[in-house]
Amino acid sequence: CVLKLKQSKSPLIKLLDHLLRALEKRDPHQFFAWPVTDDIAPGYSSIITKPMDFSTIRQKIDDSEYLSLMEFSGDFKLMCENAIKYNHVDTVYHKAAKKLLINGMKLLTPDSLLRSLKPMS
Ligand SMILES: CC(=O)c1cc(-c2ccccn2)c2ncccn12
C-alpha cells in the first residue's frame, strides 16, 4: 500500500480552521451546520441559487479550495445572506443570520485577525 504523506497544514488552512471553529461556536442551535433542504424549507432551492453552510465550508478547507481569506469570508457572508433572504424577518433563522453575520464580521476584521495570527508568529 502506498502511504500518502500527510502534508503539514499551510498557515492559511490553520487560520481558516481556527476561524471556522470560532464562527461555528456562534451558531449554538446549529441552524447553519448543514445544507438547508427543500423538505425543511419549501422552495429553498429555487429561491437560493448558491447555497452554503458550515459543513460545506469545512469540506472546502479540507480540499484546499480556499486560496485566500477573502474567499472564505465570502462563503461565510453568502451563508448568512441566504438565510436573511429566504427567511421572513420575524423568524428565528433570519434573526440568527443577522446576529451571526455581525459577530462573524467582527472576527474577520484586521485587528481581530492579527490577534488570531499572533500565536503563530
Ligand atoms: C439556515 C436556514 O435558513 C434554516 C436552517 C433550518 C434548520 C436547521 C436545523 C434544523 C432545522 N431547521 C431551517 N429550517 C427552516 C427554514 C430555514 N432554515
Q: Tens digit of pLDDT for each residue in 13-42?
A: 999 999 999 999 999 999 999 999 999 999
Residue located nearest, by CA, to atom 5 of ligand 1? 31
Q: Is the dihedral of CA 37, 51, 92, 17 positive or negative?
A: positive
Can you read off the three cell numbers belonging to residue 102? 455581525
Cβ neighbors of 83 (< 8 A, separation 6 or more) are: 31, 32, 36, 93, 94, 96, 97
Residue located nearest, by CA, to atom 16 of ligand 1? 41
CA of 64 to the centre of ligand 1 (A): 27
User: CA 33, CA 55: separation in Å to the nearest integer?
Assistant: 6
CA of 93 to the centre of ligand 1 (A): 6
CA of 40 to the centre of ligand 1 (A): 7
* Helices marked H in the chain: 11-25, 44-47, 54-62, 69-86, 92-107, 110-117
* Ligand 1 surroundings by CB, under 6 angstroms: 31-32, 36, 40-41, 83, 86-87, 93
pLDDT of the residue at 2? 82
Report the share of the chain in percent with pLDDT over 90: 82
Ligand 1 atom at shortest distance from the alpha carbon of 31: 8
Q: Which residue in 56, 57, 50 sits closest to 85, CA to CA?
A: 50
CB 2 within 8 A of CB 108: no
The pLDDT of residue 80 is above 80: yes
Please give the ipTM for the structure prediction: 0.96
The pLDDT of residue 56 is above 90: yes
CB 36 within 8 A of CB 19: no
**59-69 mean pLDDT:** 97
Helix (H, G, I), strand (E, B) or coil at 35: coil
**98-117 mean pLDDT:** 93
